[in-house]
Amino acid sequence: MDKKSSKQIGKILKESVNAFVANPVILFPFITTAFIQLLVLEVLYFSAQFPLVYFFGPVISRFYGETYLHYPQHLLILPQWLQTSQYLIFIFINGFLIAVAIEIIKNINLGKKTSFPDALRVTLPQYVHVCIAAILSFVLYFGLANLHGAVIARALHIRSQGGVFYWIKAAVVYSAPYINLLIGVLVTAIFAFVLPIIVIERKKVFAAIIENFKHMKSSFGFIFPIVLVPTLFYIPILLLQTNLSAVASLTFEGIRLLCLVLGIFVMALIDATVYTAVTTHYLLKKENS
């Protein structure tokens, strides 16, 4: 990447942050998603208590054991359960709310008055296309994550206690959360223009995907860093999560729950920055074409 491109990426990311600081309405869809995730997390947190235990208790006991029905062991399964629920939230809620944010960003760039309810109403007819786009991006992510999982499984079969194979195993295992994060960045970049095209051009999902790939021939090298740079701010959360047992032993067990809450809000801000930048860049491309 040349110096000029680096400056352009820095400029568009800075302008994106300035945009939602000056127009907080842009943040409403992302904060809404965050609060839905917090609601789900709250349900999962109280799943081992009355009355939710009647539904969740047998499931927890069967798959994890009765020990995990009690505090603090119950906190150990929250990240996995929250991650699973986030897949469904992404497909049926988050993707659509990102589309709503794109509608808001479009109106702001055009100098039009806008509001969250109005953008919600205008974007609703595109819901099915947005969900299909979310499903397709999730399938790609899931496929790449499974390939990565196969590499991890192969590495775990390495028995060496030293030497080059031991270090290969260590590198593969300990880098796993960061590689998964990178896979997410890659998939987001590959499908970056799909939602803007669906929302702004009012195109159907498969036509939007075709047009997205046409744009990506010349834009992927620019879009990938736009997605990557804000996402790097999630690395401290991953560092905390991967060392959570040590941190909890030095502080308190509730830090496990606080880490999940913090991760939700950090990712909301990352998504707001990424999609404001991507939408702004798409609008500029459209204007200059």
Handedness of CA 31, 33, 38, 42 (dihedral sign): positive
**pLDDT tops 70 at residue 2:** no
Which one-letter amino acid corresponds to residue 34? A
- Per-residue pLDDT reduced to its tens digit, 85-97: 999 999 999 999 9
**pLDDT tops 80 at residue 5:** no
CA-to-CA distance for 186 and 192, rounded, in angstroms? 10
Residue 159: its pLDDT value, please?
Answer: 83
Mean residue pLDDT of the chain comes to 92
Residue 64: its pLDDT value, please?
Answer: 84
The percent of residues above 70 in pLDDT, for the chain, comes to 98
Residue 246: its pLDDT value, please?
Answer: 87
**pLDDT tops 90 at residue 62:** no
CA nearest neighbour of 199 among 279, 139, 140: 279
How does residue 39 score in pLDDT terms, banded at 50, 70 and 90? Answer: very high
> Cβ atoms within 10 A of the Cβ of 11, count?
11
The set of residues, in sequence order, having a beta carbon less than 8 Å from that of 158 and lying 6+ positions away, is 165, 166, 168, 169
The set of residues, in sequence order, having a beta carbon less than 8 Å from that of 254 and lying 6+ positions away, is 75
What is the extent of the structural domain holding 144? Answer: 3-288
CA-to-CA distance for 121 and 230, rounded, in angstroms? 29
Q: Which two tokens stand for residue 14?
A: 């800075």
CA nearest neighbour of 240 among 222, 266, 210, 213: 266
> Cβ atoms within 10 A of the Cβ of 285, count?
15
The set of residues, in sequence order, having a beta carbon less than 8 Å from that of 201 and lying 6+ positions away, is 208, 211
Residue 131: its pLDDT value, please?
Answer: 97
CA nearest neighbour of 197 among 214, 209, 185, 184: 209
- Per-residue pLDDT reduced to its tens digit, 197-227: 999 999 999 999 999 999 999 899 999 999 9
Number of domains in the chain: 1
CA-to-CA distance for 208 and 213, rounded, in angstroms? 9
CB 132 within 8 A of CB 44: no
How does residue 286 score in pLDDT terms, banded at 50, 70 and 90? Answer: confident
Q: How far is CA 207 from the centre of its chain?
A: 24
CB 239 within 8 A of CB 61: no
Residue 164: its pLDDT value, please?
Answer: 85
Residue 1: its pLDDT value, please?
Answer: 59
Mean pLDDT within 105-133: 95
